[in-house]
Structure 1
């Protein structure tokens, strides 16, 4: 759902907002339940909906999406992330379920697509890929000043996106088993034929021609199915970063949003300064994304400068140094540094899920813990 606009350019005026997909779970068993329709039928948008978070449907009935409006400051966005999760929590309770910020269901699930014509067509066309697609991501929108700036940003931030997969990793389990991945959602998502990294395109015309050609093949049913790792909004002047798992705790979402805006602003400055994008092939970016998905922050990542293995902490610090000037100018530097330190000390949602399972031996307890952390304070 694209609702983001722009409040001027530059680090201080570049707006940002998020969409968080949440799992609907049985409070007793932890199993995913198809209650989205009942929830949204009862859900009454708050009076401040024009300026606050709202709930919407997603592909499967076992999930809903929380959408924030655009904000100029990270502090305002943080308040709406917490508020949106609280609204979702209350709405879920009204239909006998809970919300859990989990990238995949730890317990086996047999999802039920929302009964819309488009979703029925997707299920028929893509078979098991669609039927099993119960994954919850976090999509971050950051405003851009023009299509030219937007494509320039896509070209110049692409090699950093795998680091966001590692920072957000929150989906180690699949169908009741340890997948061996920190972010197995990434693996499931990339089954879609239109998902993945973009090549360097250079101009809006080249971007739109690629989208047109992909839809013309008939493999992508429509433009809404162009699932690039980062893409231009079809309706508003934003870029949408789509690689992240939904984060277990709201503070991690705030961190991702701040980093995303820093990446967009840094890329835009490079473009204005005549800095060419790093010409790394998409094939290498796929490998970088796979490595981030496999290990999260608990192993090595591919360094975006050298495309060789490096300790995850080294790569995260490299990312933060890369965007430091943009963070400083936006007033986000101290907040992002604090949140990054907290994440590195405490671990991602994937680490937390595995710790709970190790301690309790019960995936239902993993879900119960996730429910509590979903609505935890910042």
Structure 2
């Protein structure tokens, strides 16, 4: 059974006003002092991050996610802030950088892209047996990554305005020169050549800035899938993590069976990712096998059929089917935010709705 773990990034908002709170260091320190969980500061002081332990059990993952969110929210409350599981800030964009040498170097090298970057994603780690298996997986999951963008979409607003996108975080994150879909690597040597070239070219200051949509983790024996927005609802995060584990297991099996990598060009995959970011699951998405648009949920159902044997082997089938059905019924975080704005008529209504859902 492959282990799965999740990292989630959050915004911090002043409890008494609709302004971002530059309390990341204090919130992380308070959470660490009160818990045995994994918490970290982020690029901006208006953010905080949590990580779960690797586990084979999705029920354990769900329990830990809710527990860690609650602990981080309690730590934020102690600093006069609220925790917001939101991919971009619907509030102001007055941000400050966490005073760490590496981050300060990023400011100097990447200019405004780094200075104004304030996005919150979810990274899913799934264990692999070796780097060779990991690269084989990376090459084979490329066609499915845009669907994860659509399912997790939770960033329609930026600085008080509706961007028209379901996941505007995807657009903003794409400004980094190493972000996005990568060509197939072929083998570990090919992956290492690509990684080293981005560092030596100055597109990344170190290996931690290799921001591929999916990559080999620099710290763990895992494949790390990085395309999802942080989900407003923790249950959606667990569903997406289960789908990612199914994709990884299916790809690893295909590699062991000698099945070739599907030859989809990177520019088509970028187009598919753009459309997923633009519309989420609310309109048609790109079937990269035909380069035509099809109903979003038809494509998602097809993906679930493809990974069905892996879901059954892991005991994840019922959870994935019920979780996706719930998502289909109520929509992702992008719909939650737009409904909250429509009903309240204000950005404050979005903050209230997302903050409540973050710790639900």
The bucket for the TM-score relative to the shorter chain is over 0.9
Equivalent residues of 1:45, 1:54 under 8 A apart: no
Q: 1:302-323: CA deviations, max 9, x gaps? A: 0133231011111111111111
Determine if the alignment matches structure 1 residue 187 to structure 2 residue 159: no
Q: How far off its partner does 1:31 sit? A: 2.1
- Greater shift, 303-312 or 292-301, is seen at 303-312
Q: How far off its partner does 1:291 sit? A: 0.3
Q: How far off its partner does 1:46 sit? A: 4.8
2:278 to 294, 298, 310: 294
Determine if the alignment matches structure 1 residue 43 to structure 2 residue 31: yes
| TM-score normalized with structure 2 length | 0.98
Q: Distance in 2 between matches of 1:228 and 1:178?
A: 27
Q: 1:89-115: CA deviations, max 9, x gaps? A: 111011000101000111122111100
* Aligned-partner SS, 1:309: strand
Equivalent residues of 2:20, 2:46 under 8 A apart: yes
Equivalent residues of 1:19, 1:66 under 8 A apart: yes
The equivalent residue for 1:32 is 20
Q: Distance in 2 between matches of 1:341 and 1:125?
A: 44
Q: How far off its partner does 1:45 sit? A: 4.0
Note the aligned Cα RMSD (angstroms): 1.0
Q: How far off its partner does 1:33 sit? A: 1.1
Q: How far off its partner does 1:222 sit? A: 0.9
The equivalent residue for 1:101 is 85
Equivalent residues of 1:31, 1:105 under 8 A apart: no
Q: How far off its partner does 1:365 sit? A: 1.3
1:340 to 304, 311, 324: 324
* Aligned-partner SS, 1:43: helix
The equivalent residue for 1:357 is 341
The equivalent residue for 1:6 is none
The equivalent residue for 1:18 is 6
The equivalent residue for 1:4 is none
Determine if the alignment matches structure 1 residue 164 to structure 2 residue 152: no
The equivalent residue for 2:76 is 92
Q: How far off its partner does 1:54 sit? A: 2.0
Equivalent residues of 2:31, 2:71 under 8 A apart: no
The equivalent residue for 2:243 is 259
Equivalent residues of 2:121, 2:230 under 8 A apart: yes
Q: Distance in 2 between matches of 1:44 and 1:198?
A: 36
* Aligned-partner SS, 1:302: strand
The equivalent residue for 1:140 is 124
Q: Distance in 2 between matches of 1:281 and 1:304?
A: 9
Equivalent residues of 2:154, 2:231 under 8 A apart: yes
**Matches for 1:279-290 after TM superposition, within 5 Å:** 279-290=263-274
The equivalent residue for 2:58 is 74
Q: Distance in 2 between matches of 1:81 and 1:332?
A: 17
Equivalent residues of 1:30, 1:365 under 8 A apart: no
Determine if the alignment matches structure 1 residue 240 to structure 2 residue 240: no
Count matched residues. Answer: 360
Q: Distance in 2 between matches of 1:41 and 1:88?
A: 10
Q: Which runs of 5+ in 1 are unaligned?
A: 1-12
Q: Distance in 2 between matches of 1:148 and 1:282?
A: 21
Q: 1:343-366: CA deviations, max 9, x gaps? A: 000000001100110111110111
Q: Distance in 1 between matches of 2:311 and 2:55?
A: 15
| TM-score normalized with structure 1 length | 0.94
* Aligned-partner SS, 1:20: strand
Determine if the alignment matches structure 1 residue 230 to structure 2 residue 230: no
Q: Distance in 2 between matches of 1:304 and 1:350?
A: 24
The equivalent residue for 1:207 is 191
Q: 1:156-183: CA deviations, max 9, x gaps? A: 0011000000000000011111101000
Q: How far off its partner does 1:40 sit? A: 2.7
